[in-house]
A and B are shown apart, each in its own frame.
Chain A
Amino acid sequence: MLTYTIRRLVLAVPTLLFISLAIFLLLELAPGDPMANQPLTIPEEVRQKMREALGLGQPWYIRYVKWLIQFFWIEPQVMVDHWFGTAFAEGKQRVLSWQTRSPVMDIVYQRIPQTLWVVGVAYVVAILIALPIGIYSAYRQYSAFDNAGTFISMIGFSIPPFFTGPLLIVIFAVQLEWLPSVYNTVHEVVDWPSFKIQLAQMALPVMVLALQITAQLNRFMRASTLDNLNQDYVRTARAKGLKERTVVLSHVVRNSMIPVVTVIALNVPNIFGGAIITEVIFKVNGIGQLLITWLFANDIPGVLTLTFIFAILIVIFNIIADVLYGLLDPRIRYD
């Protein structure tokens, strides 16, 4: 298992390099211009000068290699400087966003707290709701509870957030005036009242996201439990005279969790990636909103860095999921 993990980690490096090149080329190939958002009153000669100031005059491979050096060599130095107060990165060129002309990583650090608060909490809430419902739905298949659960999760899954978001705003912010519709990213939690404000401003986006994630997880949990309920070992366990509770909770659930844990682990990078539409609607302005803003602004260094961090997380959590799979299910052997 250990050698397998090490081998995967070593293999991840060339994979990631290849992914970064693929993302870079895709962004290069995509139509778009960082000057598209500038007003039409700015004439073309000025636009051309602005493009050159961004470094767009250079050929693509030079820009790619520059980015590689900045991301893999200079940015870690900046991080070390930040932690230990050293000065390795003094005066070196960091990865700069075209739109804000400032270091990309600084903005990313600024965005992480609100994304974790909202999307992270939504995932936790969804897992806590989805798993018990999924297990019970499977156990009492086609009961009223199961049917209601199926119905609600299908609605949750098939209604897009660009509808549920405004709907919740109209109900809770406009009509009832209970909750704010705009997330305040500079709000600081210092005591109990400010924590309550934080909870109130998180409530709507978390609701929208949790509905969607619950719908999805609940489906997988239910399907996986159903598969296991019909297995021979369950009959054996019952025949042994085990209590129904023990049969379900310690035999069925444990085995059904295997694919579900993988699904959850594979979804962790999505927490970091944020939720584009929900973040935009509630103005949470986390990583997801940053990505879509930069995509529309054709900010190649920004989008490249963000998607690449995302790729690193995907690769790492993929390895974690595979290792977990092997640990949870001893029948699987990788070596």
Chain B
Amino acid sequence: MTDTTPQETYGALQDKEPQKPPQSQWREVWLQFRKHKGAVFGGGFLLFITLAVIFGPYIWTIDAQKLDIRAKDMRPIYVALWDGDAKTSWGHPFGTDQLGRDILANMLEGGRVSMAVGWLAMILTMFIGTFVGVVAGYFKRLDGVLMRFTDLVLSLPILPITLVAVTLFRQPLVASFGPEGGMFILIVGIIGVTSWMQTARIVRGEVLALKEREFVLAARSIGTNSAAMITRHLLPNVVSPIMVSATLGLAAAIITESALSFLGVGFPSDFPTWGKLLADAVSRMEAFPERVMLPGIAISLTVLSVNYLGDGLRDALDPRIRGR
């Protein structure tokens, strides 16, 4: 009978119980996301601006198209701080334009369209770009065809494309979705179809490099099929360049929309968007700086917050960073 005292084991090897209760993956993501101040701020601002443009017009009920020629060229209310003689009024806190339309109402109304165009066109762009990029990078046989197709689209000038699309599709779209809805679909479509090429090429480049990595080889050796390979192994690894493209894509979509309106192939003139408010105000930049600054700031802040949000999401979704 020998008494054997239990062998002292290393503390590190003891594993009596989990130190914290198990959490779902998404809770982990949320916890990580919360640590990123910029992302939280960006998300908050984006939520604010989205709510503002959705519900704002119900609170600030002046019609954006209401003309009041006697109250034209009003300055925003803050100008009164240093210039007591300026034409200001609490009835128009952001002032009015050269026809007496309320600028705050136009900003809210314009924000709706710009945000909707920006998001939808960006999602469309990312979807086409990622799809083409991944397929071209992964399936060698399709690479040549898809990349030559990308070259083709890249070399087509956007203005004739837009004119052709307006000529061919405006009438049927307007007939089925009304003048505003029809133009909206057309413009989102045009921007989406003409701006995915950069994303596609970058994604393809990344996929080409990833394909040679060991984990892909490992996955292939256990018989992973192509669909699973792409969705489980490749896509999560190309999220970061896609995020960057998406942020830039949102800004580009908002600006492309304004350039289209500027060239006369965009929305009707009584349909404000941020880009169009900005473009229309450039000629009066010296006398009324706020008319360019307000939409300019709105576009910049939106893009900036999408960018931070993207940064935070990328970090939160990357298991290598999460928990460090």
**Residue positions of A touching B, CB distance < 8 A:** 11, 15, 18-19, 22-23, 26-27, 29-32, 142, 147, 150-151, 154-155, 157-160, 162-163, 166-167, 170, 216, 219-220, 223-224, 226-227, 230, 258-259, 262-263, 266, 277, 291-292, 295, 303, 307-308, 310-311, 314-315, 318, 321, 325, 329, 331-333
Q: Which of B20-28, B66-74, B81-89, B275-283 contacts A (4 or more CB under 8 A)?
A: B275-283
Q: CB distance A154 to B307 under 8 Å? A: yes
Most buried by B among A18, A150, A160: A160
Q: B285 interface residue, CB < 8 Å from A?
A: yes
Q: CB distance A315 to B160 under 8 Å? A: no
Q: CB distance B205 to A262 under 8 Å? A: yes
Q: Mark B140-174, 1 if CB is under 8 A from A, else 0.
A: 00001001100110111101110110010000000
Q: CB distance B208 to A291 under 8 Å? A: no
Which residues on the A side are within 8 Å of B244 (C-beta)? Answer: 219-220, 223
Q: B106 interface residue, CB < 8 Å from A?
A: no
9 additional A-B pairs beyond A31-B163, A314-B151, A314-B155, beta carbons within 8 Å, are A19-B151, A27-B160, A29-B164, A158-B300, A162-B282, A223-B243, A258-B205, A259-B206, A310-B155
Q: List 21 A-B contacts (CB under 8 A).
A: A11-B148, A15-B151, A22-B156, A26-B160, A27-B160, A150-B307, A154-B247, A154-B303, A158-B255, A162-B262, A220-B202, A220-B244, A259-B206, A295-B159, A310-B155, A311-B155, A314-B154, A321-B201, A331-B209, A331-B212, A332-B208
Which residues on the A side are within 8 Å of B77 (C-beta)? Answer: none
Q: B195 interface residue, CB < 8 Å from A?
A: no
Bound state CA distance, A291 and B158, in angstroms? Answer: 12
**Residue positions of B touching A, CB distance < 8 A:** 36, 38, 144, 147-148, 151-152, 154-157, 159-161, 163-164, 167, 198, 201-202, 205-206, 208-209, 212-213, 240-241, 243-244, 247-248, 251, 254-255, 258-259, 262, 275, 278-279, 282, 285-286, 292, 296, 299-300, 302-304, 307-308, 318, 320-321
Which residues on the A side are within 8 Å of B164 (C-beta)? Answer: 26, 29-31
- B216 CB, min distance to chain A CBs, angstroms: 11
Task: Select from chain B the residue with minimum beta-carbon distance to A224.
Answer: B241
Q: CB distance A22 to B300 under 8 Å? A: no
- Minimum-distance CB pairs A-B, first 10: A311-B155, A331-B212, A30-B160, A158-B303, A158-B251, A154-B304, A30-B163, A158-B300, A223-B244, A15-B148
Q: CB distance B296 to A159 under 8 Å? A: yes
Which residues on the B side are within 8 Å of A333 (C-beta)? Answer: 212
Q: CB distance A163 to B282 under 8 Å? A: yes
Most buried by B among A27, A30, A32, A258: A30
Bound state CA distance, A311 and B156, in angstroms? Answer: 8
Which residues on the B side are within 8 Å of A162 (C-beta)? Answer: 259, 262, 279, 282
Whether A22 contacts B152 in the complex (CB less than 8 A), given A262-B205, A303-B157, comes out as yes
Which residues on the A side are within 8 Å of B198 (C-beta)? Answer: 266
Bound state CA distance, A14 and B30, in angstroms? Answer: 51
Whether A170 contacts B285 in the complex (CB less than 8 A), given A30-B163, A158-B254, A160-B258, comes out as yes
- B239 CB, min distance to chain A CBs, angstroms: 10
Task: Select from chain B the residue with minimum beta-carbon distance to A153.
Answer: B307
Which residues on the A side are within 8 Å of B303 (C-beta)? Answer: 154, 157-158
Whether A266 contacts B201 in the complex (CB less than 8 A), given A318-B147, A332-B208, comes out as yes
- B46 CB, min distance to chain A CBs, angstroms: 13
Whether A160 contacts B275 in the complex (CB less than 8 A), given A15-B151, A26-B161, A266-B201, comes out as yes
Q: CB distance B321 to A230 under 8 Å? A: yes
Bound state CA distance, A259 and B203, in angstroms? Answer: 10
Bound state CA distance, A159 and B293, in angstroms? Answer: 10
- B283 CB, min distance to chain A CBs, angstroms: 8
Whether A329 contacts B202 in the complex (CB less than 8 A), given A154-B304, A310-B155, comes out as no
Bound state CA distance, A223 and B286, in angstroms? Answer: 38
Task: Select from chain B the residue with minimum beta-carbon distance to A22.
Answer: B152
Interface residue SS majority, chain A = helix
Most buried by A among B155, B206, B279: B155
Q: CB distance B160 to A295 under 8 Å? A: yes
Q: CB distance A160 to B202 under 8 Å? A: no
Q: CB distance A311 to B151 under 8 Å? A: yes
Bound state CA distance, A262 and B206, in angstroms? Answer: 11
Which residues on the A side are within 8 Å of B208 (C-beta)? Answer: 325, 332
Bound state CA distance, A216 and B254, in angstroms? Answer: 16
- A277 CB, min distance to chain B CBs, angstroms: 8
Bound state CA distance, A166 and B280, in angstroms? Answer: 13
Whether A223 contacts B241 in the complex (CB less than 8 A), given A160-B275, A318-B147, comes out as yes
Task: Select from chain A the residue with minimum beta-carbon distance to B167.
Answer: A31
Which residues on the B side are within 8 Å of A18 (C-beta)? Answer: 148, 152
Q: CB distance B205 to A325 under 8 Å? A: yes
Whether A259 contacts B205 in the complex (CB less than 8 A), given A150-B307, A166-B282, A291-B157, comes out as yes
Among candidates A147, A303, A310, residue contacting B38 with C-beta atoms closer than 8 Å: A147
Bound state CA distance, A262 and B200, in angstroms? Answer: 13
Q: CB distance B279 to A167 under 8 Å? A: no
Bound state CA distance, A150 and B307, in angstroms? Answer: 9
Which residues on the B side are within 8 Å of A157 (C-beta)? Answer: 248, 251, 303
Task: Select from chain A the residue with minimum beta-carbon distance to B303.
Answer: A158
Q: CB distance B248 to A216 under 8 Å? A: yes
Bound state CA distance, A74 and B96, in angstroms? Answer: 59
- B108 CB, min distance to chain A CBs, angstroms: 19
Bound state CA distance, A315 and B152, in angstroms? Answer: 9
Among candidates B147, B202, B285, B299, residue contacting A259 with C-beta atoms closer than 8 Å: B202
Whether A166 contacts B38 in the complex (CB less than 8 A), given A32-B163, A303-B157, A311-B151, comes out as no
Whether A154 contacts B300 in the complex (CB less than 8 A), given A15-B151, A22-B156, A26-B161, comes out as yes
Q: CB distance A332 to B278 under 8 Å? A: no
Which residues on the B side are within 8 Å of A15 (C-beta)? Answer: 148, 151-152
Among candidates B38, B258, B302, B320, residue contacting A230 with C-beta atoms closer than 8 Å: B320
Bound state CA distance, A51 and B151, in angstroms? Answer: 33
